[in-house]
Structure 1
Amino acid sequence: MPILGCQNKSPAEQSAASQPTASAAAPAPGAKDKKQRGLLIDRSAEKADAARFEDKIKANIAKVPDPKIESPQNQSPDLDNAAFRGRVVGLVRQVAAGPEKVECDLPLQSKRPFRAVVWAYKGGEQIARGEGSDGSLCVALKGAARQAVAAAGGERDSLAGSRLVIDLPDHNESILEFEGKGLELVQGLVPPRTYDKALLTKRIEEGKNYLMRVFDAERNGVHKYYYAQADRFEPELHTIYTASTGLTLIKLNAYNGDKGLLDKAKSAAEFMLSMQSHNEADHTAGAFFYTFDLQRKQPERKLVVGTASKTIFTLLELHGLTKDKKYLDAATLSADWLISMQRPDGSVRSYLTNKGGERWMVSKKESMLYTGQVLSALSRVHRATGNVKYLNAAAQTAGYLAGKVTNGGCWLGDEYRKPNPISSSWVILSMLDFVKATADEKFEGLVLRCAGELLGKQRKKPEDIYRHGRWQGSLSSSGTGWLAEVYSELYLYCKEKGKGDCDKYKDAVVRAIRQIMQYTYTPESSFMLKNPEAASGGVFWSVMDRYVRTDAVCHAMNAYLNMLPHLGEGSLIDIPERSLAERMALASDVVPPRDDDDERDEQDDPEEPSKNKADDAAEDPVEKANTPKP
């Protein structure tokens, strides 16, 4: 079933009350009688929308021609999926043109009546909806097409320039019109069933162009959210996402040698450095402010260990390339602050907040993400400096995480999340960084053990094109992209060290890349957007949430760039589609179940441990004490 534009507000959008909200989303075809992934459809808005089209249909249907349906003399005895979709789109377009007769070559027989729904989109707006039902598919489609024309104004050119979505909800079939053809549509996604290095290279170019657009022109910081359906960014710049974007631009520079990309990464670093605290009096020196509010023209007084850690990643890469000492100095100062946020057992305090008083408040809750990010940062700083202070601090946290794995296994959660693949993968990557700093075989064994266990949670069911390639408990594109990035790093390490069975990691990434591609805005999938060019290359969050988060693009790009040199020629994956009769259950008198999600996307964020109001509220109890000194 196509799920079209059911876009919830993200936390950032919820808080930006003074900003215009995203344009009202059209209700999902076939969604009015049910919940969509646990989220209730706004019934009042949907009824008003239906009434709007109903009135237009009543007013205009009489002037829409009712063509006679003719069958060709030599009808096709059997249709493949592509031919079927193309002919469905062709018939609807024939009817919309208003001739006296139309030819329908759709000789399908079903034990159930056909119900057809035709939607039309133009300039990102839904302009029409029509519905028809009959024992004949041709008649049902004609009825739906005529109603859609009437809903759009009743003229022969009313649907000109629009994109059509055609749904057969009782036969599990949805079709998206693109350049005169009919494309497979699953849960509102256009799933690629095959791809090769050429397509991956194209996605890299599109992703690069998207990332260059997320920078603020004045400050060179990066936005976290692009609300594609409203065509706007949120009014904040984020240090951590600026760092992530800068790191990806450095990878792109290594890939194509474009000096402009490195220069842009340096500009991003200037924003990052401007967000670093140098206040030794309150012991926050080295930390990075989380966001810069473009409306108030000042940073948010929140200092997060994850922001510092991922900023360190980028600063170290820039120092390695440029040998400019300011990057290393900022990274080591930040690493000193991270040490001050460690507890004696090696766990990590997540963040500090200050609402305007003299004292900073320290978060009590523990996050595996942040703990892992700190371990990675300290390990990388030691490798860059050789300073044993950072190695000792890293060893403290590595031992803490190893104890977690030894006592509880590799499937990990924390005080923010139940066990999930994102927390688990951060433990894997952070211990891998520690192994790179120490060559510790014990920790290498834990990394490989946990990587193998988590690999078993990737969905490997090609017949389920919607879910194939993602991990159990990870529903967002950012989560899949992050896991692809982690496994691409594991593959590179495995090959470098001459380990056996490295291809299992590569195969996991190949599957994940296909999954990410179906969440990427392309000309085919941007029919709901008013500005498709601005969204091109963006990886939207999920079926229900069509905004682009910058980290989703960065994770995808990092995985693409890591793997591209190691992929073979020809098709990298081929997933055949079931036959038309099987998919539509034509021989059954029972309506097949819809392919709705059986999981909730509760906390699927590879950068931060919490993204909903309930979790944010749970962070309020804090220790009102001075920040511990380094």
Structure 2
Amino acid sequence: MTRRALLFAVWTLPAALCLAVTAIVYAAFRIAPPARLDAAERTAVMASLRAALDGPAAAPDVHRPLAGPLVVTVWSGGKSVARFDAAGADLAQATLAAAQAMRGSLEVRALSPADRAAARLQVDIVTGTGRLGGGSWLVDHLAIPGIADMLPINPGVEGIGADVGGRPVLLLPHELAGYKLLAAKRPSEAMPDLAMGADLARIGQLLASRAGAAAPVAPAALYRFRTDSFVEPVDHAGAPLPLVRGLPPPPVLSARTLREAALRGGRYLVAHLAPNGRYVYEHDLWTGAASDAMRPGGAYSMPRHAGTTYFLAELYRITRESWLREPIERAFAHLADLLAGGGCAGVLPDGTAYDCVLDRGESTAHLGSTALAVVALAEYQRATDDHRYLALAQRLAAWLLTMQRADGSFRHLYDVKTRTPDETAELLYYSGEAALALARMHTITGEARYAAAAGRALDWLVGWYDFFVGGFFYGEEHWTCIAAEALWPAVQRDAYRAFCDGYGAFLRAQQAEPGDYPDEDDFAGAYNLTPFVVPFNTPAGSRTEAMISAYLLGVHHGAPDPRIAAQIRAALQYALRQQIRPDSDFDVVGQGDGAIPATPIDRNIRIDYVQHVCSAMLRASELPDAPP
């Protein structure tokens, strides 16, 4: 498939398909948002429940009618250790019933006094129900797996239940997400990130198990429900926090909160850096399962290793926090170990030494691994004025130059055994990363050859879009814009500014604004094509990094774009809500403070999620017009 065809498949087809059914699904299946309890009501309900952990409780003076059960989850150490479903004539009676059940619970009594005091209670009040799917001839006729039966699910907001043996049995919204029962179907192999739907078979089995039924609950017996959810704050100080998709309200956007969030992300990464200089690549906050950084093999990305180390060096350069320096050097030591055993080192005919980065067991070098290693090494030198890694950066940059063609483009793969590049493979991000590496080499050395090579690379990247509809479709060009700004003032082509402005406009068309998605204003600021798919969090970072560079290019050329500034602020306000912090770590197993999950409902962490989002936060805090 050609690059242009891929762009069409990625951007146009999903949008057209989802637009065709949005109105139908909204009209037929919407459950109205809850009339949420106010702060005083939440406080009264929670006080009654908290009292039951250590003594008798009284019903709160909150007599709202109920549309379904009230559910209390007891979180301890990030795990749900007990749950209580209660009903009553009104909210006061249901709360009292749940409190009495907690008081007599063996699971609660098994907690130590300290654990009971530290536990956090979450309340879910069912406020409305709706059918699960089907009944619309157009949607049913499409019969695309994951669409015809499951578009109505609002992930992380709605749960699924059934009446079994005359009583309701519920899987709460956070349980559907935590047990990975959502985004279970992928309609297109060409678009693996387009995931939707739910695993109805497993849901039926889980509901039957909870009800003590022998046979799974049939899909036809399932229904959706919506809840008003809230959780105790840290140390139980203040009113309970309202939750949307399991997340409490975010901090107010400011330069200070952005810098604090970036430092929080840095601490997460340092805590997940093993003694051998390799990162704990993934961490599932729901289960606590994490990659073993001390064991060779498994999923690991050297471009992401280098990119993450680049962020830590950037964080050190801007904040001067001393605790960052040793971990950065530890990560570099791991790179040096890999280079020593990689077999890529050599000497060019003119006597120039070169080398490239490979992970253990690899025989093909990826351009991005070496490019981002150069970026990280250069950033460390910018931060410290320590030249100890300069010779290494020069060897790696020499290899990058051998991978560049005369027209400015790059070869992306290199067979180390045969010493030959692959002339056909083209991978996302690598050319922009290489352009940034060469731009940064010019920054730290002042050598014109690096600036010239970076300029040729950017000319090729920007010039590729010089065709009829090139201004309407863009690939993932965030590294291109970052490199263009990094090369200023050595290369001052207005074409780079114009390209990044156009890229920004293209991205703004995908950035949700309040009111764009019915009942999903928590997605405002995220980049997404449809309300039926939960947005990924990483683009709110990587694309914002690009937009910060685009904005700065405008500043350099005397024409800063206020639309880009607003775009940056919206994305980062969204991202602040996604980051794990004390308010939101009640359901986190292991050290998760500062982490950035994959999506609002997928609690898996990968190091590059943290890198991109926190780098954007850090750089935005330095913008000349950043809010104080």
TM-score (norm 1): 0.65
* C-alpha distance in 2 between matches for 1:368 and 1:433: 20
- Structure 2 SS opposite 1:160: helix
Q: Secondary structure at the match of 1:457?
A: coil
Aligned-partner Cα distance in 2 for 1:157–1:214: 29
Provide the secondary structure at the position in 1 that maps to 2:244: coil
CA deviation after TM superposition for structure 1 residue 439, in Å? 0.9
Q: In 2, Cα distance between the equivalents of 1:387 and 1:200?
A: 34
Deviates more, 1:126-135 or 1:192-201: 192-201
1:139 matched to 2:93? The reply is yes
Are 1:467 and 2:523 matched, yes or no? yes
Superposition pairs of residues 242-281 of structure 1, within 5 angstroms: 242-276=305-339, 277=342, 279=344
Residue by residue, what CA displacement relative to the aligned partner does 1:363-418 show, whole Å, maximum 9, x if unpaired? Answer: 844224112212222333345445555455444433432233222435656xxxxx
Question: Compared with structure 1, are the counterparts of its residues 410 and 526 closer, same or farther at alpha carbon in structure 2 (3 Å cutoff)?
Answer: farther
Matches within 5 A, 1:205-354: 205-217=263-275, 219-228=276-285, 229-230=287-288, 232-235=290-293, 239-276=302-339, 277=342, 279=344, 286-291=354-359, 298=360, 300-320=362-382, 327-342=389-404, 346-352=408-414
**1:191 counterpart SS class:** coil
CA distance in 2, matches of 1:185, 1:411: 38
In the alignment, the residues of structure 1 paired with residue 624 and residue 487 of structure 2 have an alpha-carbon distance, to the nearest angstrom, of 28
For residues 513-552 of structure 1, what are the structure 2 equivalents within 5 Å? Answer: 513-531=572-590, 534-552=591-609
For residues 594-615 of structure 1, the C-alpha deviation after alignment (integer angstroms, 9 at most, x for no partner) is xxxxxxxxxxxxxxxxxxxxxx
> What are structure 2's unaligned runs of at least 5 residues?
1-34, 129-225
Alignment equivalent of 2:567, drawn from 478, 503, 508: 508
Instruction: Return the match for 1:160 from 94, 98, 116.
Output: 116
Code of the aligned partner of 1:330: L
- 1:380 alignment partner in structure 2: 440
DSSP 3-state at the match of 1:524: helix
Superposition deviation, residue 320 in structure 1: 4.2
* Partner residue in 2 for 1:438: 491
Name 2:478's counterpart in structure 1: 425
Aligned residues of 1:165 and 1:175 also touching (Cα < 8 A)? yes
Distance 1:429 1:205 in 2: 21
Residues of 2 paired with 1:320 and 1:153: CA distance?
55
Q: Structure 1 stretches of 5 or more lacking a match?
A: 1-77, 292-297, 414-418, 573-630
What secondary structure does 1:251 align onto? helix
Q: Which has the higher contact order (CA 8 A, sep 6+)?
A: 1
**2-structure distance, mates of 1:484, 1:395:** 23
Counterpart among 544, 548, 557 of residue 488 in structure 1: 548
Pairwise CA distance, 1:520: 1.8
Residue of structure 1 in register with 2:617 after alignment: 560
> 1:239·1:275 contact (CA, 8 Å) conserved in 2?
no
CA-CA distance at 1:347 after TM superposition: 4.2
Letter in 1 for 2:337: S
Moved over 6 A (4+): 156-159, 281-285, 357-361, 567-570
Shift of 1:135: 4.9
Give 1:538's aligned amino acid: A
Contact 2:545/2:612, CA 8 A, preserved across alignment: yes
1:466 deviation in Å?
A: 2.2
Instruction: Give the counterpart letter for 2:71 in structure 1.
Output: V
Q: CA deviation at 1:526?
A: 1.5
Structure 1 residues 326 and 362: alpha-carbon distance in aligned structure 2, compared to 1, 3 A threshold: farther
User: Per-residue displacement from partner, 1:494-517 (whole Å, max 9, x unpaired)?
Assistant: 33443233x433332322222222
RMSD over aligned CA atoms reads 3.8
Query: Which of 158, 162, 174 lines up with 2:229 in the alignment?
Result: 174
Deviates more, 1:132-141 or 1:301-310: 132-141
Deviations 1:308-339 (A, max 9, x none): 11111122233445566553333333233234
Q: C-alpha separation between the residues in 1 aligned to 2:61 and 2:427?
A: 59
Rounded Cα–Cα distance in structure 2 between residues aligned with 1:508 and 1:324: 36
The 1:198–1:316 alpha-carbon spacing in structure 2 relative to 1, beyond 3 Å, is closer
| Maintained 8 Å contact 2:367/2:400 | yes
Task: Check conservation: 2:535, 2:600, Cα contact below 8 A.
Answer: no
Identity %: 22
**CA distance 1:349–1:85, change in 2 (3 Å):** farther
- Provide the residue aligned with 1:366 in structure 2: 426
The answer to whether the 8 Å contact 2:120/2:586 transfers is yes
Counterpart of 2:310, as a letter, is: L
| Letter of the 2:84 counterpart | G
Report how many aligned residue pairs link the two structures.
471
Residue pair 2:229, 2:244 contacting (<8 A) in 1 also: yes
Answer whether contact 1:304 1:351 (CA < 8 A) is retained.
yes
Evaluate the alpha carbon distance shift between residue 177 and residue 492 of structure 1 in structure 2; reply closer, same or farther with a 3 A threshold: same
Q: Is the 8 A contact 2:494 2:557 kept in 1?
A: no
1:109 Cα deviation (Å)? 4.2
What one-letter code is carried by the residue in structure 2 that aligns with 1:471?
Y
Letter of the 1:273 partner, please give it.
A
- Conserved 8 A contact 2:481-2:496: no
Deviations 1:110-140 (A, max 9, x none): 6xx2322222222222212222344522233
Q: Is the 8 A contact 1:240 1:290 kept in 2?
A: no
AA paired with 2:558? G
User: Contact between 2:580 and 2:593, CA under 8 Å: does it hold in 1?
Assistant: yes
Question: In structure 2, the residue corresponding to 1:535 is in which secondary structure?
Answer: coil
- Alpha-carbon shift at residue 461 of structure 1 (Å): 1.1
Structure 1 residue 183: deviation in Å? 0.9
Q: How much has 1:98 moved relative to structure 2?
A: 5.8
Secondary structure of residue in 2 paired with 1:406: coil
Specify the code of the residue in structure 2 equivalent to 1:177.
E
1:346, distance to aligned residue in structure 2 (A): 4.7
